[in-house]
């Protein structure tokens, strides 16, 4: 039996079939510095509540999958980051068996959300095929998880440090629908711009809820990806962010950073190169995704 602890607020929402939005914890432990990380985590929950849904931030605490964190647990994940294990699908048995604290990635959060019967999950940006992935085989576990775990992920697109074209191709191969919210272009995290078109554009939360219900009626397995562009006020010009990413990639290569440390390194380095503006953008897009996720979850629940 899975050792799952569900916060009373989340359990009440589950019992009464109310809208719920899952939130990841890697963004707290590895995605942002303190205290912005804890402030962002708490504001994400507040935004979801404001728009009619119950937030469920998910982590592993002392080896227990914990759905809905207390303030103390949030603080623990935010402050004691050196002792928090970045947890994807492959890491669950180790973190649980050793009774460790784990911050869940996108793929990890999808697994835990599915275990708790939560259908919607808001994050910043998903992982994908890294640049040079055709030779390094550095491909995020997020993509395979989307191919098999029935959770709808609301994000600002794939992180622009990735190979966006190959990431879209991989998702298509896995049969994952990628929806552009009010856009036909794939958003690229820090910027609304990219060179890649999407097959599906839906303009309202209600239309996305209908899409999910239609998919469920066909018993199609796997997740759905909703790409919500960063608000225009915070969007970087494409060339500016591309130049910052190129510099960060060069720095990463010279330092020999590899594996699961690549994304945290690149995000931190881009914050430094942009003088903190990329962190401000990151926070803004996460808030925007929380709002949309709550609206979709609410529309879905009303139609069920």
- Of 184, 181, 188, give the one whose Cα is nearest residue 296: 181
**CB of 127 within 8 A of CB of 158?**
yes
Q: How far apart are CA 10 and CA 55, in angstroms?
A: 7
Tokens of 54: 């119950």
Quick check: 183 and 277 in contact, CB under 8 A?
Answer: no
What is the pairing mode between strands 152-155 and 101-104? unpaired
Please check whether residue 122 is in contact with residue 21, taking contact to mean a CB–CB distance below 8 angstroms. yes
Which distant-in-sequence residues (6+ apart) come within 8 Å of 293 by Cβ? 21, 48, 53, 120, 121, 122, 154
Active site residue 185: no
User: Which residue is associated with the tokens 């940006």?
Assistant: 125
What does residue 162 show for φ and ψ, rounded to 5 degrees? -100, 175
Domain residue ranges in the chain:
4-303
Write down the pLDDT at residue 159.
78
Helix 36-50 vs helix 71-79: angle between axes, to the nearest 10 degrees?
A: 140
Burial class (CB in 10 A: 0-12, 13-18, 19+), 272: middle
Report the b/e string of 176-198 with b at 16+ CB within 10 A: bbbbbbebebbbbbbbbbbebeb
Note the pLDDT of residue 1. 67
Flag residues of the chain having pLDDT under 50: none
Alpha carbon distance 238, 131 (integer Å): 17
| Cα 278 off chain centre by | 17
> Quick check: helix, strand or coil at residue 178?
strand
Q: Is 24 assigned a catalytic role?
A: yes
Q: Are 157 and 186 in contact (CB under 8 A)?
A: yes
Q: Which of 76, 86, 119, 159 is catalytic?
A: 159
The pLDDT value recorded for residue 266 is 84
Q: Are 156 and 121 in contact (CB under 8 A)?
A: no
What confidence score (pLDDT) does residue 215 get? Answer: 98
CATH fold for the domain made of 4-303: Indigoidine synthase fold (3.40.1790)
């Amino acid at each position: 039996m899975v050792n799952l602890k569900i916060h009373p607020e989340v359990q009440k929402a589950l019992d009464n079939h109310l809208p719920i939005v899952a939130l990841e914890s890697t963004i707290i432990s590895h995605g942002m510095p303190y205290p912005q990380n804890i402030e962002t985590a708490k504001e994400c929950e507040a935004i979801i509540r404001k728009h009619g849904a119950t937030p469920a931030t998910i982590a592993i605490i002392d080896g227990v999958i914990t759905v809905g964190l207390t303030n103390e647990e949030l603080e623990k994940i935010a402050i004691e980051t050196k002792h928090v294990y970045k947890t994807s699908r492959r890491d669950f048995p180790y973190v649980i068996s050793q009774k460790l604290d784990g911050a869940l990635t996108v793929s990890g959060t999808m697994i835990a959300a599915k275990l708790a019967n939560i259908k919607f999950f808001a994050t910043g940006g998903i992982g994908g095929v890294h640049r040079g992935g055709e030779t390094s085989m550095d491909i995020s576990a997020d993509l395979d998880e989307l191919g098999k775990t029935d959770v709808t992920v609301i994000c600002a697109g794939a992180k622009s440090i990735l190979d966006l074209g190959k990431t879209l191709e991989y998702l298509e191969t896995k049969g994952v629908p990628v929806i552009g919210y009010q856009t036909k272009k794939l958003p690229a995290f820090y910027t609304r711009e990219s060179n890649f078109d999407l097959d599906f554009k839906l303009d309202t939360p209600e239309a996305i809820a209908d899409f999910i219900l239609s998919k469920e009626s066909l018993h199609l397995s796997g997740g759905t990806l909703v790409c919500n562009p960063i608000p225009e006020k915070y969007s970087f010009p494409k060339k500016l962010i591309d130049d910052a990413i190129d510099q960060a990639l060069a720095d990463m290569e010279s330092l020999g950073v590899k594996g699961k440390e690549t994304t945290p390194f690149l995000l931190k380095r881009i914050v430094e190169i942009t003088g903190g503006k990329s962190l401000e953008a990151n926070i803004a897009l996460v808030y925007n995704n929380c709002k949309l996720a709550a609206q979709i979850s609410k529309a879905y629940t009303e139609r069920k």
